[in-house]
């Protein structure tokens, strides 16, 4: 990130007082400063991104009136002439990836907290068999409710048998894996999962993951606790080797020699042999050891809950995937230019994972704090509980991302739907627009809107 831009942004008062602000004096001294005091109105209500950047058509009078005028004038004025030039050092690839925070839309203001992070700037723990890296509240402190792990297992390699204090929701990104999980009643579940498939392991239920096909597998794990750490799980190796051998002998009937052969340190991720066919493993269990509860779910096979020329939305929550009591998701695909409509979630913050394409999001929070960031594959986004947000496909390919909520049900409130349901006089009084204009907006929740 451009530190100069961020440093200026981080001072919530930086834009507030025109008389004490050096940049504003510059603007006031410019011969054409009157233009910024009274930005020309634009007959069309739609503003393209180019209009923000261009030297003409600075803003629509309507939009400029929505927030403190000085702040917006200053942001608009900053785009004129040489003001936004940046002759010093900069991290070019990062600036290119993050045009919005680098030169924020004039509607941005203050700081609603960090909304962007990426797995690709975290440390990968690479070892024989694969790797893992994570985004928890240590890396991304705003996300208190949810943490994420991105893991790779090569063919045959295993994530060691383990359990942990958080629920685990997962989606397969590439390749196939075999997963096992045992319930406290002793019944076990075994399944093979492919790209787009989910699994869900409740807290404390012991489980395993193993890479299967030629290319192994890569997957995303999502935990219902921002402070979860993938390096702090209960492991079968450590549990046994830190129990006195005479107790192991009483408990398992294994001799001291057997004890000495147990791994002395954790395995965590390690290579192994590809297992036999799934049906063979299941046959060994017989009928009464296999649970009928489903811990995997084929999200990619689920018909979209919404599908239009703007893209589609698949919602998976406890109604469709009953074991997923703690986390739910919407997988959203947006065509180029399309928009995930303005909305918020009443009962949860939102943790996002970007799977494909390019997008941008603005989070508008309380106290007129709003920030816009750009997102690329393997990036993580965060939206504070109830903060208004949209996601826009700014690329040339489909944008695919996950909206994860720490809740059993996926619930959102649509700004359009709310405005549509408000009595006419109430809407006019608040929006200061003619009723005919107000009612041009979609009259119901559409989830996704086309780009043109």
Which has the closest alpha carbon to 201: 295, 291, 322? 295
Choice between 147 and 248, CB closer to Mn ion: 147
Shortest Cβ 376–Mn ion spacing (Å): 18
CB of 106 to Mn ion, least distance (A): 24
Q: Is 417 in the site for Mn ion (CB under 5 A)?
A: no
Q: Does 317 bind Mn ion (CB under 5 A)?
A: no
Is 145 or 350 the residue whose CB approaches Mn ion more closely? 350
Closest residue by Cα to residue 163 from 117, 114, 214, 206: 206
Which DSSP state fits 122? S
| Two structure tokens written together for 26 | 């510059």
Encoded one letter per residue, x for contact with Mn ion by CB under 5 A and - for no contact, window 346-375 reads ----x-------------------------
379 close to 176: Cβ distance less than 8 angstroms: no
CA dihedral 306, 307, 311, 315 (to 10 degrees): 30
Angle, helices 22-29 vs 69-77, to 10°: value is 70
**Distance between CA atoms of 178 and 185, rounded to whole angstroms?**
21
Rounded to a whole number of angstroms, the minimum distance from the CB of residue 162 to Mn ion is: 6
Vertex 45, ends 42 and 51: CA angle to 5°? Answer: 60
Asked if 98 is part of the footprint of Mn ion (rule: CB under 5 A), the reply reads no
Q: Is residue 139 near Mn ion by the rule CB under 5 A?
A: no
Size of the site for Mn ion (CB under 5 A): 3
Query: Of the two residues 139 and 403, which places its CB atom closer to Mn ion in the complex?
Result: 403
379 is a site residue for Mn ion (CB under 5 A): no
392 binds Mn ion (CB under 5 A): no
Establish whether 403 is a catalytic residue: yes
Q: Which of 35, 98, 160, 168 binds Mn ion (CB under 5 A)?
A: 168
Q: Would you give the binding string for Mn ion spanning residues 273-312, x where CB under 5 A is met? A: ----------------------------------------
Q: Per rule CB under 5 A, is residue 145 in the interface with Mn ion?
A: no
Please, which residue, 23 or 445, has the CB nearer to Mn ion? 445
- Alpha-carbon span 424 to 173, nearest angstrom: 47
Q: Torsion over CA of 130, 213, 262 and 236, rounded to 10 degrees?
A: 80
Q: Which residues pair with 211 in a beta bridge?
A: 177
User: φ and ψ at 426, to 5 degrees?
Assistant: -65, -45
Is 374:420 a contact under the CB 8 Å cutoff? no
Is 167 among the residues that bind Mn ion (CB under 5 A)? no
Rounded to a whole number of angstroms, the minimum distance from the CB of residue 421 to Mn ion is 20
Closest contact distance (angstroms) between CB of 405 and Mn ion is 8
Long-range pairs, 253-257, Cβ under 8 A, ≥24: none
How far apart are CB 201 and Mn ion at their closest, in Å? 6
- Of 1-9, 260-268, 344-352, 369-377, the segment contacting Mn ion by CB under 5 A is 344-352
In the complex with Mn ion, the residue whose CB is nearer, 358 or 389, is: 389
Q: Which is nearer to Mn ion, 67 or 315 (CB)?
A: 315
> CA angle at residue 50 from 48 to 55, to 5 degrees?
120
Among 192, 403, 417, 427, binds Mn ion (CB under 5 A): 403
225 binds Mn ion (CB under 5 A): no
- Catalytic residue selected from 403, 417, 428, 444: 403
Structural contact between residues 240 and 248, judged by C-beta atoms closer than 8 angstroms: yes
Residues in touch with Mn ion (CB under 5 A): 168, 350, 403
Which active-site residues does the annotation give? 403
């Amino acid at each position: 990130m451009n530190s100069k831009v961020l440093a200026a942004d981080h001072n919530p008062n930086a834009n507030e007082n025109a008389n004490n602000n050096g940049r504003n004096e510059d603007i006031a001294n410019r011969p054409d400063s009157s233009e910024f005091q009274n930005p020309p109105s634009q007959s069309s209500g739609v503003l393209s991104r180019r209009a923000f950047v261009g030297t003409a058509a600075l803003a629509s009078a309507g939009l400029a009136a929505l927030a403190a005028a000085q702040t917006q004038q200053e942001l608009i004025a900053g785009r004129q002439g040489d003001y936004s030039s940046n002759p010093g050092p900069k991290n070019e690839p990062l600036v290119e990836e993050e045009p919005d925070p680098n030169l924020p839309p004039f509607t941005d203001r203050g700081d609603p907290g960090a909304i962007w992070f990426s797995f690709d700037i975290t440390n990968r723990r690479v070892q024989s068999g694969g790797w893992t890296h994570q985004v928890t509240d240590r890396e991304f402190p705003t996300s208190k409710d949810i943490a994420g792990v991105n893991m790779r297992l090569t063919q045959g390699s295993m994530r060691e048998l383990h359990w942990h204090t958080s629920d685990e929701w997962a989606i397969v990104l590439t390749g196939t894996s075999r997963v096992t999980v045992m319930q406290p009643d002793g019944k076990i579940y075994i399944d093979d999962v492919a790209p787009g498939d989910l699994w869900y392991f409740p807290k404390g239920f012991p489980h395993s993951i193993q890479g299967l096909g030629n290319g192994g597998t890569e997957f995303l794990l999502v935990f219902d606790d921002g402070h979860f750490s993938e390096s702090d799980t209960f492991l079968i190796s450590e549990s046994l080797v830190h129990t006195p051998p005479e107790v192991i002998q009483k408990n398992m009937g294994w001799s001291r020699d057997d004890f000495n052969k147990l791994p002395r340190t954790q395995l965590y991720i390690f290579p192994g042999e590809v297992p036999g066919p799934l049906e063979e493993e299941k046959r060994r269990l017989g009928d009464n050891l296999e649970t009928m509860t489903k811990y995997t779910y084929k999200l990619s096979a689920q018909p979209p809950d919404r599908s239009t020329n703007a893209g589609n939305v698949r919602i998976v929550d406890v109604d469709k995937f009953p074991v997923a009591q703690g986390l739910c998701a919407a997988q959203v695909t947006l065509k180029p230019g399309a928009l995930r409509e303005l909305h918020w979630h009443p009962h949860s913050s939102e943790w996002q994972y970007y799977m494909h394409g390019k997008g941008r999001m603005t989070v508008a929070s309380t106290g007129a704090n709003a920030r816009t960031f750009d997102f690329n594959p393997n990036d993580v986004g965060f939206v504070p509980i109830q903060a208004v947000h949209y996601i826009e496909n700014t690329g040339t390919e489909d944008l695919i991302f996950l909206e994860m909520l720490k809740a059993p049900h996926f619930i959102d409130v649509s700004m359009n739907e709310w405005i549509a349901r408000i009595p006419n006089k109430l809407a006019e009084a608040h929006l200061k627009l003619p009723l005919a204009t107000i009612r041009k907006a979609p009259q119901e929740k559409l989830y996704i809107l086309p780009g043109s």
